[in-house]
Amino acid sequence: MMVEPIRETASPIVAAQDARPPVIEISALGKTFTLDSGPVVALESVDLTIRKGEFISFVGPSGCGKSTLLNMVAGLLSPSQGEATLNGARIDEPSRQVGFMFQTAVLLPWRTVEENVLMPAEIFGTKTQALREKARSVLEAVGLGEFLKAYPQQLSGGMQQRVSPRTLTSEPDVLLMDEPFGALDEFTREAMNMELMRITQAAGITVLFVTHNITEAVFMADRVVVMTPHPGKVSGVVDVDLPRPRDIGQMQEQRFTDLMFKVRGILGHG
């Protein structure tokens, strides 16, 4: 049974998943920024346990602290209260087991697409032939197989965004995604989401996925964490008990619509 103290109760069908070991444990995590105009509570006391291989979506309107939460889990931002742990160890710096996909692709114009993808490997000192193959397969998965040797400025904006899943090349245990496909058109985004879900499910990667889009959040997730602003906080968690592998057809099912309404409801009440 779910034991973490969250307000919205878990649906009973997911009990079987609880055998998986917790990877990320967030307890009483909060962040207050101090500005000249006074303190801003970006995130208030979040408690959440994320198990191995789980896909968690975070939805909520702009400014509800989604990026703040993700940055703290990434070890890029230090918490004001509480803590987050990764495999039991307190997170206070970035970890190589954690991959981060940012809102923009961050491509260096003097490196080819391939060289950009291999940058982390260069830093880690793990740039091997096997890794090159891995990079190639990731780029092929997002339809950029023919653009390995191209420079980023030779790609369209959308194609540049599609390089984001490069972080998978380093085979992280945990993947943090901060709306990496936000600027893509709906078709491409859907295709990217499907591809990402396939890869992460197959590899057993734990995913924290931030989005504004409720449909997408529900469709991808095992659980949807619903957040509301002023101050940023978690208002509820909705279990998504739709079977996997998912396909677009499931969006037409009554259960899917119910889940979306549930998320909407929590967002509405704040």
Ligand X SMILES: Nc1ncnc2c1ncn2[C@@H]1O[C@H](COP(=O)(O)OP(=O)(O)OP(=O)(O)O)[C@@H](O)[C@H]1O
The residue ranges that bind Mg ion (CB under 5 A) are: 67
- 3-class DSSP state for residue 18? helix
How far apart are alpha carbons 159 and 56 in whole angstroms?
26
* Complex with Mg ion: residue 67 or 206, whichever CB lies closer: 67
Give the H/E segment covering residue 259. helix 254-269
Q: 3-62: which residues touch other proteins (CB under 8 A)?
A: none
Q: Which is nearer to ligand X, 144 or 238 (CB)?
A: 238
> Which position among 195, 213, 231, 250 is part of the footprint of other proteins (CB under 8 A)?
195
Reported for 212-215, long-range contacts at CB under 8 A and 24+ positions apart, including other chains, are 212/59, 212/60, 212/61, 212/62, 212/179, 212/182, 213/59, 214/59, 214/260, 214/263, 214/264, 214/267, 215/251, 215/260
From the list ligand X, Mg ion, other proteins, none, partner contacted by residue 157 (C-beta under 5 to 8 A by kind): none
- Work out which of 156, 243, 252, 254 binds other proteins, going by CB under 8 A: 156
Between 139 and 227, name the residue whose CB sits nearer to ligand X: 227
**Residue 213 touches other proteins, criterion: CB under 8 A:** no
The CB density around residue 20, as the number of other CB atoms within 10 Å, is 14
Residue 120 makes contact with ligand X by CB under 6 A: no
Cis (ω within 30 of 0) for the bond into 245? yes
Minimum CB distance to ligand X smaller for 102 or for 261: 102
List binders of ligand X among 3-62 (CB under 6 A).
Answer: 33, 35, 40, 42, 62
Interface residues with ligand X (CB under 6 A)?
A: 33, 35, 40, 42, 62-68, 232
